[in-house]
Amino acid sequence: MRRYISAYFEDEGNLLRAAKDLKENNISIQDVLTPFPVHGLDSILGFKKSLIPTVGFISGAIGTMVAFGFQTWAFTVDYPLFIGGKPHFAIPSFIPITFELTVLFAAFGMVFAFLIRSKLGPGAKKTIHDERITDDHFVIIVDLDESGSQDGKVKDILSKEEAQDIKVKEIEL
């Protein structure tokens, strides 16, 4: 059995303070759902830096090599042809396409990384916790232990920050 508590806030200021309080009391926060990115939340929840920029760099570098390598191979090895008095290995000529493919690969790499890591995509099965989350409510979902020893403390912290609809839910595993 897994137990958790969910509570709704109307203002991100309350949410931030509540999350900070909970973290300071070593209570694990399962998830926070917000209608827009709340600044400062990442650091309170202790998120590590996203690796998406790294993915972008690597896929971009692959794009660079594919594009430059392919053009070089096609024009110097596979089918060397004189065009407009340019050398076969015409570096300046290859740069525009190389640049474009670098950007293209990096963009695709990052978007796929984002979707896969977040398990988002067409037809992704996600439970919609509450329809107000994408509108004007901030939800915090806090894990509780089975014994219920933390319940009181968590509720205190939440209600101090004017949380509404504080509900304990249980799901059978």
Partner 1 sequence: MYVSPIREPLIRGQKTYKKITQDIAAPIEGKPGKAWYAGIALTGSALLFGLAMIGYTIWEGIGTWGLNKTIGWGWGITNFVWWIGIGHAGTFISAILLLFRQKWRTSINRSAEAMTLFAVICAGLFPLIHMGRPLLAFFVFPYPNTRGLWVNFNSPLLWDVFAISTYFTVSLLFWYVGLIPDIGTIRDRVKSKLKKWIYGLLSFGWTGSAKHWQRHESISLILAGLAAPLVLSVHSIVSMDFATSVIPGWHTTIFPPYFVSGAIFSGFAMVLTLLIITRKVLNLENYITVGHVESMNKIIIATGSIVGIAYLTELFMAWYSGVEYEQYAFMNRATGPYWWAYWIMMSCNVISPQLLWFKKLRRSLVFTFILSIFINIGMWFERFVIIVTSLHRDYLPSSWEMYKPTIVEVGIFIGTLGLFFTLFLLFIRVFPVIAIAEVKGVLKSSGEKNPKSDKN
Partner 2 sequence: MANNYTFTRKTQYWIMSIVGIGILLLIVGYFINTPSRQELWTNILINNLFFLFIALFGGVFQALHKIAYSGWHTALQRIPEALTSFLPIAAALMFLLYFGMHDLYHWSHEGLHDPILEGKAAYLNIPFFFIRMAVYFLGWIGLTYLLRKNSLQQDTISDLRYYRRGKFLAAIFMVFFALSSSAMSWDWIMSIDGHWFSTLFGWFVFIGLFEIGIATIILMISFLKIKGYLEFINKEHIHDMGKYLFAFSIFWMYLWFSQYLLIWYSHIPEETAYFAPRLHDFTILFFTILVLNFVIPFFGLMTRNSKRNLKWLTVMAIVVLCGQWLNIYMLVIPGTIGKTAQIGVVEIGFVCLYLGGFLYVVFSSLAKAPLLSKNDPLLEESFHYET
User: Which residue ranges make up the site for partner 1 (CB under 8 A)?
Assistant: 11-13, 31-39, 41-42, 45, 47, 50, 52-53, 56, 60, 70-71, 74-75, 78-79, 83-84, 86, 90, 93-94, 96-97, 99-101, 103-104, 106-108, 110-111, 114-115, 117-129, 131-136
A 10 A CB-CB count for 85 gives 6
At 80, phi and psi to the nearest 5? Answer: -65, 125
Q: Does 13 bind partner 2 (CB under 8 A)?
A: no
Among 10, 93, 141, 166, binds partner 2 (CB under 8 A): 93
Q: How far is CA 34 from the centre of its chain?
A: 13
The closest of 170, 158, 163 to 25, measured between CA atoms, is: 158
Rounded-to-integer distance, Cα 25 and Cα 9, Å:
20
The closest of 50, 14, 49 to 34, measured between CA atoms, is: 14
Residue 20 contacts which entry, partner 1, partner 2, none (Cβ below 5-8 A, type-dependent): none
A 10 A CB-CB count for 150 gives 19
Q: How far is the CB of 168 from partner 1 (least distance, A)?
A: 21
Which residue's entry shows tokens 């896929």?
59
Site string for partner 2, 50-69 (x = CB under 8 A): ---x---x------------
CB nearer to partner 2: give 87 or 148: 87
Which residue's entry shows tokens 């004017």?
162
Q: How far is the CB of 134 from partner 1 (least distance, A)?
A: 4
Structure tokens that stand for 129 in this block:
């916790």
Q: How far is the CB of 162 from partner 2 (least distance, A)?
A: 26
Cα 98 to Cα 29, 94, 129: the distances in Å are 45, 6, 45
CB nearer to partner 2: give 93 or 133: 93
Stretch that binds partner 2, among 15-23, 92-100, 135-143, 144-152 (CB under 8 A): 92-100
Binding positions for partner 2, rule: CB under 8 A: 39, 53, 57, 85-86, 92-93, 95
